[in-house]
């Protein structure tokens, strides 16, 4: 999703801006641009549809230079991907602006501004902001006053950074609903959508709060809250994670991240000291909250939502707590009735997903006893705004299709089920068994990774297909959903998941030799039922690709292709089958030649509704 980088320094900043954009590429985008104020106080601009490399090429042919500048990668919302719609947007050669978010009242503002004589050259909602800002500085306000007056007119979500040729040493910025951090340097200051963009120049960051406006110059920073009062915000040092952005010997981040799972899972479980899981790993005060918890409501989007669906089985089975799971974009707009003493659990790799954040923010105080977030990014909005937080230790995830973040979320949920179970009389034997399982999980994942070559062989059968069906039963149903999501995200093959017992109620009509049917078949108590469902597919000429426990009794035969999975205790099966399905979608996408790490139209961190 859109990325912002801005800089104001005593040195030339174009290369810092470009490097920042390169580091934000993983978020997903369709165009890129930057504007600098040169040493003759003129606004210089490059913007192009396509990759940051187009900008780099333009910069090498026709360099634009300056000590103050803003840059952007755009993920289209209003107006198609094009150079005209790319940011920065300019007003009368004076103001330049970059924006992340959506302005909901842009149509009405556009009319006002047209009447005031402003000409629009793009189809974006952002262009109203730049003209508004121009209008206010033109009327005599200083840059801070003009930005405060501008944001007062905006409805929607935004992170903004702007420059004014009349104030060539300043960048003014504001945020509401979209993330923005200040990178604090020595004699220079920066802004970006996430810290990774600026780790090249600083490790000191200030996370702006909702409605903050900040004026940055090389000499210093001044932050104002939504009421216009000057405020101090805490500065934090950020360490680690930079090496995660290095591809090493891997061809793609997704493959690297799949292979990092044994380490990430072990690191996440290691949050429990000496392997003893209790409430304290979920934060101060968690023990009191868990003691009163009578129900759990999980809210998330995308892959994180699938982690929640798996967790429901564990929370009900292990902890005996009733659990509901819902996608955030539905949950936030629904009139709801909660059980008394319900714990709200949000799940998010980025901690910034707009709908999940809105679900947390707009939950009524009396609706939940507390909020807990399971997130992978420290200091993210969800972490800062929740009562309790569990940080997974996946390390930075760059591939748009989430892999290691998902499996570490599953570890976090198993730990939550254990901690809540302890409050509700979970037997010591079962606690022990779960802890041993969590300890053994990284090794089992390593064993699963060893069948990569066999999965690669199997993947060839999918590349000419347009559709695929994924089947699972019980806790494997959400794993089938996650497998289908991975395949559609990166290989653009339409894939759907069904609980195998529902086959007869519709999807069987679609089964023929052109529809590969992937089955998740561990050796569990539903195995015989699943086998009958798969027979139904076979007898209609469907081609089966069965990911099966070694002892599940499946054998290769015409129309049935079996992938032998390591034998695993039931509670660990969802994780290892996920890993195998991640590899399947990776190899299919690789052979189809799609952009594995940055699939078309998708973004890593969805910070708009
Ligand atoms: C986007 C990403 C997915 C991710 C989802 C939720 O759609 O492409 O990989 O699962 O957002 O993101 P979150 O950061 O909240 O887990």
450-599 fold: Rossmann fold (3.40.50)
Q: Which of 257, 303, 355 to mutate to test the pocket of ligand 1 (most atoms within 8 A of CB)?
A: 303
- Residue 15 · residue 112 · CB < 8 Å: no
| pLDDT > 60? residue 518 | yes
- pLDDT at residue 242, as a whole number: 59
Q: Where is average pLDDT lowest: 247-251, 325-329, 349-353, 412-416?
A: 247-251
Of all protein residues, the one whose alpha carbon is nearest to atom 7 of ligand 1 is 302
- pLDDT at residue 116, as a whole number: 95
| pLDDT > 90? residue 588 | yes
- Residue 275 · residue 511 · CB < 8 Å: no
| pLDDT > 90? residue 123 | yes
User: In whole angstroms, what is the distance from residue 518 CA to residue 336 CA?
Assistant: 36
Q: Where is average pLDDT lowest: 89-103, 197-211, 269-283, 349-363?
A: 269-283
Taking the model in full, what pTM does it have?
Answer: 0.85
End-to-end Cα spacing for the chain: 11
Of all protein residues, the one whose alpha carbon is nearest to atom 8 of ligand 1 is 604
Beta strands in 396-460 (DSSP E): none
Beta strands in 363-436 (DSSP E): 370-375, 388-391
Backbone angles phi, psi at 229, to 5 degrees: -85, 140
Q: Could you tell me how far CA 326 lies from the centroid of its own chain?
A: 17
What is the 362 CA–ligand 1 centroid distance (Å)?
20
Atom of ligand 1 nearest to the CA of 300: 15
Classify strands 467-472 and 517-521 as parallel, antiparallel or unpaired.
Answer: parallel
Considering the chain, tell me which residue range(s) the CATH 3.40.50.10490 domain(s) occupy: 248-449, 450-599
Q: Which of 27, 408, 604 to mutate to test the pocket of ligand 1 (most atoms within 8 A of CB)?
A: 604
Of all protein residues, the one whose alpha carbon is nearest to atom 15 of ligand 1 is 348
Query: 3-state class of 550 per DSSP?
Result: coil
Mean per-residue pLDDT, 220-247: 86
Residues 6+ apart with CB under 8 A from 557: none
Residues 6+ apart with CB under 8 A from 542: 511, 512, 513, 515, 517, 559
Of all protein residues, the one whose alpha carbon is nearest to atom 1 of ligand 1 is 604
Residues flanking ligand 1, CB < 6 Å: 301-304, 348-350, 353, 356, 400-402, 602, 604-606
What is the 189 CA–ligand 1 centroid distance (Å)?
30
Mean per-residue pLDDT, 497-509: 90
What is the 400 CA–ligand 1 centroid distance (Å)?
8
- 604 counts as catalytic: yes
What is the 536 CA–ligand 1 centroid distance (Å)?
35
Residues 6+ apart with CB under 8 A from 412: 268, 374, 390, 392
Atom of ligand 1 nearest to the CA of 402: 9
What is the 471 CA–ligand 1 centroid distance (Å)?
23
Q: What is the 3-state secondary structure (H, E, C) of 477-525?
A: HHHHHHHHHHHHHHHCCEEEEEEHHHHHHCHHHHCCCCCCEEEEECCCC
Count other C-beta atoms under 10 Å from residue 75's C-beta: 22
Considering the chain, tell me which residue range(s) the CATH 3.60.20.10 domain(s) occupy: 3-239
- pLDDT at residue 338, as a whole number: 86
| pLDDT > 60? residue 243 | no
Measured torsion, CA atoms of residues 99, 104, 105, 106, in degrees rounded to the nearest 10: 40
Confidence of residue 537 (pLDDT cuts 50, 70, 90): confident
Q: What is the 3-state secondary structure (H, E, C) of 189-258?
A: EEEECCHHHHCCCCCEEEECCCCCEEEEECCCEEEECCCCCEECCCEEECCCCHHHHCCCCCCCHHHHHH
- Residue 481 · residue 434 · CB < 8 Å: no
Mean per-residue pLDDT, 446-451: 97
What is the 493 CA–ligand 1 centroid distance (Å)?
19
Mean per-residue pLDDT, 477-503: 95
Q: For helices 404-423 and 302-317, what crossing angle results, to 10°?
A: 30
What is the 354 CA–ligand 1 centroid distance (Å)?
10
248-449 fold: Rossmann fold (3.40.50)
Q: Which of 401, 402, 609 to mutate to test the pocket of ligand 1 (most atoms within 8 A of CB)?
A: 402
Quote the tokens at residue 357.
Answer: 């954040």
- Angle (CA) 499 503 505, round 5°: 110
Atom of ligand 1 nearest to the CA of 603: 8
Mean pLDDT, all residues of the chain? 94
User: In whole angstroms, what is the distance from residue 150 CA to residue 101 CA?
Assistant: 15
- CATH of 3-239, picked from 3.60.20.10, 3.40.50.10420, 3.40.190.170, 3.40.50.300, is 3.60.20.10
User: In whole angstroms, what is the distance from residue 475 CA to residue 478 CA?
Assistant: 6
Atom of ligand 1 nearest to the CA of 350: 14
User: In whole angstroms, what is the distance from residue 13 CA to residue 478 CA?
Assistant: 47
Mean per-residue pLDDT, 474-495: 97
Backbone angles phi, psi at 383, to 5 degrees: -65, -40
Atom of ligand 1 nearest to the CA of 28: 8
For the segment 291-337, what is each residue's pLDDT rounded down to a tens digit? 999 999 999 999 999 999 999 999 999 999 999 999 999 999 999 99
Residues 6+ apart with CB under 8 A from 373: 345, 346, 347, 348, 351, 360, 382, 383, 386, 388, 389, 390
Nearest to 313 by CA among 324, 327, 326: 324
Catalytic residue among 2, 216, 301, 323: 2
| pLDDT > 60? residue 241 | no
- pLDDT at residue 238, as a whole number: 85
């Amino acid at each position: 999703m859109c990325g912002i980088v801005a800089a104001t320094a005593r040195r030339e900043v174009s290369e810092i801006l470009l490097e920042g954009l390169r580091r934000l590429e993983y978020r997903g985008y369709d165009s890129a641009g930057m504007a600098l104020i040169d040493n003759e106080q003129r606004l210089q601009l490059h913007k192009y549809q396509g990759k940051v490399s187009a900008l780099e090429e333009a910069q090498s042919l026709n360099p634009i230079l300056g000590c103050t500048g803003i840059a952007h990668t755009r993920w289209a919302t209003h107006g198609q991907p094009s150079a005209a719609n790319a940011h920065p947007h300019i007003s009368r050669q004076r103001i330049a602006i970059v924006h992340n978010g959506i302005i909901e009242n842009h149509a009405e503002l556009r009319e006002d501004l047209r009447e005031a004589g402003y000409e629009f050259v793009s189809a974006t909602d952002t262009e109203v902001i730049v003209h508004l800002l121009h209008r206010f500085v033109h009327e005599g306000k200083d840059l801070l006053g003009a930005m405060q007056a501008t944001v007062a007119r905006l409805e929607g979500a935004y992170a903004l950074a702007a420059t004014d040729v009349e104030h060539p040493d300043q960048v003014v910025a504001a945020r509401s609903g979209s993330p923005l951090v200040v990178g604090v340097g020595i004699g220079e200051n920066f802004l970006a959508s996430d810290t990774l963009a600026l780790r090249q120049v600083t490790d000191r960051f200030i996370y702006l709060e909702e409605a903050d406006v900040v004026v940055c110059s090389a000499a210093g920073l001044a932050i104002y809250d939504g009421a216009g009062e000057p405020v101090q915000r805490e500065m934090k040092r950020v360490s680690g994670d930079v090496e995660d952005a290095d591809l090493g010997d891997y061809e793609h981040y997704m493959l690297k991240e799949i292979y990092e799972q044994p380490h990430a899972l072990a690191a996440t479980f290691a949050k429990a000291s000496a392997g003893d899981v209790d409430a304290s790993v979920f934060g101060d005060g968690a023990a009191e909250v868990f003691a009163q918890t009578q129900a759990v409501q999980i809210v998330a989007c995308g892959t994180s939502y699938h982690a929640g669906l798996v967790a429901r089985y564990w929370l009900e089975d292990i902890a005996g707590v009733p659990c509901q799971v819902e996608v955030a974009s539905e949950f936030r707009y629904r009139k709801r009735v909660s059980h008394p003493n319900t714990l709200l659990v949000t799940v998010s790799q980025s901690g910034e997903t707009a709908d999940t954040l809105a679900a947390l923010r707009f939950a009524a105080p009396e609706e939940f006893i507390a909020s807990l977030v399971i997130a992978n990014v420290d200091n993210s909005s969800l972490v800062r705004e929740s009562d309790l937080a569990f940080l997974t230790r996946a390390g930075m995830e760059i591939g748009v299709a989430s892999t290691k973040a998902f499996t570490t979320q599953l570890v976090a949920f198993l730990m939550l089920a254990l901690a809540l179970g302890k409050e509700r009389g979970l037997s010591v034997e079962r606690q022990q068994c779960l802890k041993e399982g969590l300890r053994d999980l990284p090794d089992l994942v390593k064993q699963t990774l060893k069948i990569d070559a066999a999965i690669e062989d199997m993947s060839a059968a999918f590349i000419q297909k347009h559709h695929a069906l994924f089947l699972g039963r019980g806790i494997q149903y959400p794993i089938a959903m996650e497998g289908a999501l991975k395949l559609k995200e990166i290989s653009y093959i339409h894939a759907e998941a069904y609980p195998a017992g529902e086959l007869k109620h519709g999807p069987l009509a679609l089964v023929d030799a052109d529809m590969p049917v992937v089955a998740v078949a561990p050796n569990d108590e539903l195995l015989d039922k699943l086998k009958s469902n798969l027979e139904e597919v076979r007898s209609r000429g469907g081609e089966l690709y069965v990911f099966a426990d070694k002892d599940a009794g499946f054998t290769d035969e015409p129309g049935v292709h079996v992938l032998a999975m390591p034998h695993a205790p039931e509670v660990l099966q969802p994780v290892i089958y996920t890993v195998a399905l991640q590899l399947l979608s990776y190899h299919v996408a690789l052979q189809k030649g799609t952009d594995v790490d940055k699939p078309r139209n998708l973004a890593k961190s969805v910070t708009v509704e």
